A and B are shown apart, each in its own frame.
Chain A
Amino acid sequence: MADPDLDFTTAESGASATFPMQCSALRKNGHVVLKNRPCKIVEMSTSKTGKHGHAKVNLVGIDIFTNKKYEDMCPSTHNMDVPNIKRQDYQVVNITEGFMSLMNDSGDVREDLRVPDNDIGKEIESKFEAGEDFMVTVICAMGEECAIATKMMTSGK
């Protein structure tokens, strides 16, 4: 990051699942790993022990896959792991036996992702059955992936 002419094109290969960040630099709405799960930070506050104590950060996060709530507290000087989060939109081309066939911008198709077992999953199935052209947003973090949103295909894009 120190190099202003950093070439971002090389960032893709070898990207690790998480990277460390000083606790105080985390932000609400950002992400953090709590109890080994990738979470979205929904609450962040600080406290200290005694008037002259050092700050501790209290975090409340929601697991981005399971919606479970986790809490943690740590000294604000410590590093926390932040998950690399990727969101990608795919066109749904087929559904067979609970698996989606998804096509990305460049026309590559993958078939390894299940229809999630929740409201969005039902939405995906009913849209597909109705023959609609639509996209799904797939979120990916720490080796896990899941479809979290649907979007109508827009003509321009």
Chain B
Amino acid sequence: MMAALGAAEVITQLESAAKVLMAPPSMVSSEQRQQAEHVFLSFRKSKSPFAVCKHILETSKVDYVLFQAATALMEAAVREWILLEKSSIESLRAFLLTYVLQRPNLQKYVREQILLAVAVIVKRGSLDKSISCKSVLHEVGQLISSGNPAAQTLACSILTALLSEFSSSSKTSSIGLSMEFHGSCKRLFQEDALRQVFVMTMEVLQEFSRRENLSAHMSSVFQRWLALANQVLSWNFLPPNLGRHYIAMFEATQNVNLKPTESWREALLDTRVMDLFFTVHRKIREDSDMSQDSLQCLAQLASMHGPVFPDESAQVSYLAHLVEGLLGMINGIEIEDSEAVGISNIISNLISMFPRSTLTALPSELFSSFINCLTLLTCSFGRSAALEEVLDKDDMVYMEAYERLLESWLTLVQDEQHFPRGCFVQPAVQVFNSYIQCHLAAPDGTRNMSANGVASHDEEEINELQEDDRELFSDQLCSIGMMGRVAADHCIPLLTSLLEERVTRLHGQLQRTQQHLLASSDPGSVDRKVLDDLYEDIHWLILVSGYVLADDPQGETPLIPSEVMEFSIKHSTEVDINTTLQILGSPGEKASSIPGFNRTDSVIRLLSAVLRISEVESRATRASLTELLSPQMGKDIVWFLRRWAKTYLLLDEKLYEQISMPLSTAFGADTEGSRWIVGYLLEKVMSNLSAWSSESELANETVELLVTLVEKRERANLVVQCEGWWSLAKQFANRSPPLHLLSSTVQRSLMKALVLGGFAHMDSDTKQQYWAEVLHPLQQRFLNLINQENFAALSQEEAVKQEIVATLEALCGIAEATQIDNVAQLFSFLMDFLSSCIGLMEVYSNTPETVNLIIEVFVEVAHKQICYLGETKSMKLYEACLTLLQVYSKNNQCRRRGDASAEEDQYQDLLLIMELLTNLLSKEFIDFSDTDEVFRSQDQGASAPRSVSAADVVLYGVNIVLPLMSQDLLKFPSLCNQYYKLITFICEIFPEKIPQLPEELFKSLMFSLELGMTSMSSEISQLCLEALSPLAEHCAKSPDKDTPLCMATQHFLKLVFDMLLLQKHNTEMTVAAGEALYSLVCLHQAEYSELVQSLLATQRDAVIYQRLSDAFRQLSASSSPPTMDRKQKLAFLKSLEEFVANVGGLLCVK
């Protein structure tokens, strides 16, 4: 379009389009706007626009047009690179730079765009070495030495543009070059040009730091150079020989640590560099924007590591210099708010990056001043963070800084053995005390107190999505817990006495409130302030106690922390074990009322203090004061007890080098103490479940405590000996109040716990009796119900529906209890139900909530059990699932619903069905059942002929799902993902089944793949591409080339070909698309050649034609003839990348 017009006309057209775009929205119609946008888009795509663009830049006065011209130049230069003469590129670059130099008053965004074009040209040129950075840097050097602020600013902008262009590979798709190209450009740049930039920057900063009284203008130039210095020091140095995938991964890391190559040694180990940044910071620290940069530069220097250090002593003296500089900077100043995060970053970097041996090699005085300084800073940031919380500030800078320092403490104390003995104890005491102080109300603490000492108290609305403090602050609590262990001598007794004191206060306050309530009939007159303050104190004390006493490692057996164990051992000679047990066993009494109360084991005493709180709570619920209690505190208590029980209850002496007598006497196997505490915990669970059925989170955590008690066999053995356990089991089996009030998730977990308990060690009579009380009533009630003659007629009665729902929920709970050693029994039990459930599907075909729950039962059973099942059992489950799906399909095929929730219900069903199918498929890659061992006793000699396979069920399921998967339903992201995951799985695992599908199903599967490839998210597109290779490979194996699948793959060849070559696509998809393309090319070589020929035939330009045909030849050279061979495939992928880099841009041009 543009070529036909003269330059002047082009300018007129662009300027009027720019006018439209810049006009206020009310002045132009959206068509006009679209048209104007189109003008620019096609302008930027025009061929060889160099002359026109230069002309525009020189004559137009419209900034936006200038901007577009610069963009068009940049895009065209990259696109037509191989067609351009090297000299004309060089002159283009020179033109752009001179252009900017001569026009100091250009709009900022125009100037930056032109500089970006320069940077892109320089970078592209470095590939074929047609342009070197040197000449650009030379020109920059001249600008700097001119001393003119405008020139210096421009110099800085040029360098900034170069750095951002070379620093990353993430812009790949914008200039269509491979990751490897970006990588090698970057390596080249960081070895040489970057260091020159650094040296220049240091010189400029040096110059600025010497000047007194900077003018506002100079100060803004200063700021730009400081930001540039930060950019250099934050350079993510690319190590040599990093593969393409790793480059992407490497660059995705956020906090970049400074790890320069050896060649940087001289530049960075010069102490003047570090001194300069300390000086600069001192100079500008009151300017919050600039101080961010100067502190970040220091933080980067504090993270320096790697080959830049010649030896350890160099590292030690570097660190010593850094620490001295830092202490010099902090001491004697009042830290600005804007400095907090930066300073904490410096400290956190140096602690995490320098080896312990380097830290300990510091002169001991310097090291202890550093630790002192860190301690004071931590406490002070902690207090400021608490103030921020009171003021409810949006920007919590001190909180961030505080957390970073606490994290650093954690790193330090975890490596305690490397440091002088005991050197962290005093700091730990101080940090711990200040944390406790900030979290307790006056008079012990300063919680909720603003700077002037006034306490504030407000009640905000909290929704369920808001995280509990113990998750929200888990990092802080982890560090504080660790500090508490380091200073256990101080911290554990402190927590105990603070808690015990609050037990007394809470008890008294509840009594007073009760009397007040008796006297006045208005419950609204109760002042909750005192109670809430107590609850909040107790809340934090329990959280901290939990974190001090135990860890919560996922999936491992938690051990008693060695510090806690040692602490208990150290004092065991002063301890009277009987008094300790007496205090433990009497949670209803005041600890200090027991004679000899100060000769107790402190670790047990801390648990006892929490039990006392728990006892006050339980008694209050019995006195009908539940209304006054805090569910939050209730949660804290069961959370603590659960964490404690996992670690301490029935501790296994074999796991410890040394063991504390008091702990093993109180909580070891076969002890009075452990029996007592299990009984107590069960009582607590019962009490909570009846008092707190309305608080679902609390009820949930309570059942989780119960699950913890029975999920390990040793604990379960003890639990089932308790009276309380049996009565709980009976109550639940009878669905008697109050357990039936619990929410469905709680009921499931309760069922799970009861089933797990059934596998504890009991004599056979007892065991039989147990199952007779727990599982059999469930079965009996269910069978009685559904075997009634008129069950179909009764099925809609509310009582019947509730019974059915409760049974289905219980089945899910039973499935959840599956473990490798009980799967045999549970599977047989559940299988009986599954066939009845299919009957229920018929009866409740018009009751969507029930249908949904029935499918969920199957999902759970498949999810928990399929991986353990041997062939015969799997077959049974497959058959059951198949029947379920058949019934579902029959009931929904000719059914139309008109109610509002119809779509939502169907969405939920389909999601579950796909989950079920995916679970069944998972058998193909997770299978623990190779010998059918768990079932040996039952399965003897039974090897029935394999009637149904996972593939059959899954394909049948897909058959049901596919026709129902409307485009509308695919708009639900989770459904869409699950669907494509499923079909990709199928293509990968059973490619041989695909050609056997019924025609309609086959067609819709292929259509789904095409739809997913072309019009869904890139993630789904990738999944679909991954599904193509196995299909093509399967076709290649079969001699028959006329199959529908073979034809379909031919169609996909064209799709993938176009996608890779003609459309702009996401580079991360190149690999998946390339693999798919290769497999398809192998299969359809002739068709591929045709595609290439017809593409070439459309090229009119002889030069382009030649380039393209060369590129295609090179592409196939590495793999000719193409075969399904891994080596060849890899070679093809590599050439494909070069191909896309070289001619990808050409093909995209219209």
Contacts and interface: CB of A to CB of B under 8 A. Distances in A.
Interface of A: 1-2, 4-6, 8-9, 11-12, 15, 19, 22-25, 27, 29-30, 40, 42, 45-55, 62, 64, 67, 75-77, 82, 84-89, 105, 116, 118-121, 123, 137, 139, 148-152, 154, 157
A123 B898 contact: yes
A42 B901 CA distance: 8
Given A11-B800, A62-B900, A149 B790 contact: no
Interface of B: 459-464, 469, 528, 531-532, 535-536, 539, 627, 630-633, 693-697, 734-737, 740-744, 777, 780-781, 784-785, 788, 790, 792-794, 796-800, 802-803, 842, 846-849, 852, 890-891, 893-902, 904-905, 908
A88 B792 CA distance: 10
B631 A54 contact: yes
8 contacts: A1-B735, A5-B784, A48-B462, A55-B694, A55-B697, A88-B846, A148-B899, A149-B898
Given A25-B743, A46-B463, A151-B891, 14 more contacts: A8-B794, A11-B794, A12-B797, A15-B797, A23-B694, A24-B694, A24-B742, A25-B742, A42-B901, A42-B904, A48-B631, A53-B631, A54-B627, A105-B792
Contacts of B696: 24, 46, 55, 76
A30 B853 CA distance: 11
A59 B183 CA distance: 55
Contacts of A11: 794, 797-800
B1109 to A, nearest CB: 59
Contacts of A148: 897-899
Contacts of B461: 47-49
A28 to B, nearest CB: 9
B798 A19 contact: yes
Given A9-B788, A51-B539, A151-B895, A76 B847 contact: no
Contacts of A77: 694
Of listed B794, B847, B894, residue having the most chain A CB within 10 A: B894
Contacts of B469: 51
Nearest to B699: A24
A52 B797 contact: no
A49 B631 CA distance: 12
B397 to A, nearest CB: 24
B896 A154 contact: no
A120 B464 contact: no
A150 to B, nearest CB: 5
B694 A22 contact: yes
A128 to B, nearest CB: 14
A97 B915 CA distance: 47
A99 to B, nearest CB: 18
A50 B741 contact: no
B894 A152 contact: yes
A54 B898 contact: no
A6 B110 CA distance: 83
A31 B694 CA distance: 18
Given A47-B462, A54-B695, A87-B847, A8 B800 contact: yes
A149 B631 contact: no
A75 B694 CA distance: 9
Contacts of B536: 51-52
B695 A76 contact: yes
Contact of B896 (A22, A30, A105, A120): A120
B462 A8 contact: no
B1047 to A, nearest CB: 35
Contacts of B897: 120, 137, 148-149
B532 A52 contact: yes
A49 B800 contact: no
Contacts of A154: 890, 894
Contacts of B802: 1
Nearest to B627: A54
Given A4-B734, A52-B632, A116-B898, A149 B846 contact: yes
Nearest to A66: B900
A117 to B, nearest CB: 11
Contact of A1 (B694, B799, B894, B898): B799
A150 B896 contact: yes
Q: What 8 A-B pairs come out closest when comparing CB atoms?
A: A120-B898, A152-B894, A52-B630, A50-B459, A67-B900, A76-B694, A149-B897, A77-B694
B698 to A, nearest CB: 9
Contacts of B736: 1-2
B743 to A, nearest CB: 6
Nearest to A31: B849
A138 to B, nearest CB: 9
Nearest to B790: A9
Contacts of B890: 154
A27 B464 contact: no
A8 B799 contact: yes
A2 to B, nearest CB: 5
A149 B848 CA distance: 12
Contact of A137 (B528, B695, B846): B846
Contacts of A120: 896-898
Nearest to B630: A52
A40 B846 contact: no
A2 B532 contact: no
A55 B629 CA distance: 12
Contacts of A27: 743-744
A98 to B, nearest CB: 17
A15 B693 CA distance: 27
Of listed B697, B734, B895, residue having the most chain A CB within 10 A: B895
Contacts of B904: 42
Contacts of A105: 792-793
Contacts of B905: 29
Nearest to A56: B461
B845 to A, nearest CB: 8
Contacts of A54: 627, 631, 694-695
Contact of B849 (A5, A29, A48, A62): A29
A89 B842 CA distance: 12
B794 A24 contact: no
Nearest to B793: A105
A89 to B, nearest CB: 6
A29 B785 CA distance: 23
A64 B741 contact: no
Contacts of B852: 29
B799 A24 contact: no
B236 to A, nearest CB: 42
A47 B464 contact: yes
A52 B899 contact: no
A11 B797 CA distance: 7
Contacts of B780: 4
Contacts of A19: 798
Contacts of B743: 24-25, 27
Nearest to A122: B898
Contact of B899 (A46, A64, A76): A64
B794 A50 contact: no
Given A47-B462, A55-B694, A30 B900 contact: no
Contacts of B633: 52
Contact of B788 (A8, A15, A23): A8
A137 to B, nearest CB: 4
A42 to B, nearest CB: 7
B693 A149 contact: no
Contacts of A62: 900-901
Nearest to B742: A25
A76 to B, nearest CB: 4
Contacts of A49: 459-462
Given A2-B734, A49-B459, A89-B846, A22 B898 contact: no
Contacts of B697: 46, 55
Contacts of B627: 54
Nearest to B791: A8
A46 B890 CA distance: 38
B796 A51 contact: no
A119 to B, nearest CB: 5
Contacts of B528: 52
